[in-house]
């Protein structure tokens, strides 16, 4: 019997045109797998979360980015927000 594929979330963090990627079974796990330290964040950035055809991008200022990648509670809270916003961003919902 073949195992069903678990949904995979991909996260791309773009800070000053430098991209960092991570993936995981949950958005929180994908954020944890991004290979960046909070000490390396030198400016504003954007986080793009995608799963299948759904894609969501959000801009963050530097203090918010540092908070997300230095504090596990903040990262967990932001992951929950992304989970709520991701279903509303389907490609089919965009006007032509």
DSSP state of 70: H
User: What is residue 50's predicted lDDT score, i.e. its pLDDT?
Assistant: 93
User: What is residue 3's predicted lDDT score, i.e. its pLDDT?
Assistant: 55
Number of structural domains (the chain) is: 1
Instruction: Note whether residue 1 is domain-resident.
Output: no
Question: Residue 11 is encoded by which pair of tokens?
Answer: 């996260």
Per-residue tens of pLDDT for the chain, all 96 residues: 455 566 699 999 999 999 999 999 999 999 999 999 999 999 999 999 999 888 989 999 999 999 999 999 999 999 999 988 888 766 544 544
Instruction: Note whether residue 38 is domain-resident.
Output: yes
Q: Quote the pTM value.
A: 0.80
Which residues span the domain enclosing 13?
Answer: 9-90
Rounded distance, CA 95 to CA 24, Å?
30
3-state SS, residue 23: strand
Instruction: Note whether residue 2 is domain-resident.
Output: no
Instruction: Note whether residue 59 is domain-resident.
Output: yes
Rounded distance, CA 53 to CA 92, Å?
9
User: What is residue 28's predicted lDDT score, i.e. its pLDDT?
Assistant: 94
């Amino acid at each position: 019997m073949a195992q069903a594929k678990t949904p995979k979330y991909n996260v791309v963090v773009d800070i000053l045109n430098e991209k960092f990627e991570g993936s995981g079974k949950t958005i929180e796990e994908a954020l944890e797998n991004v290979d960046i330290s909070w000490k390396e964040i030198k400016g504003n950035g954007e986080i793009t979360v995608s799963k299948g055809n759904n894609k969501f991008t959000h801009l963050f200022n530097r203090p918010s980015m540092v908070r997300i990648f230095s504090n596990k509670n903040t990262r967990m809270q932001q992951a929950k927000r992304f989970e709520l916003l991701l279903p509303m961003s389907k490609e089919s919902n965009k006007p032509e």
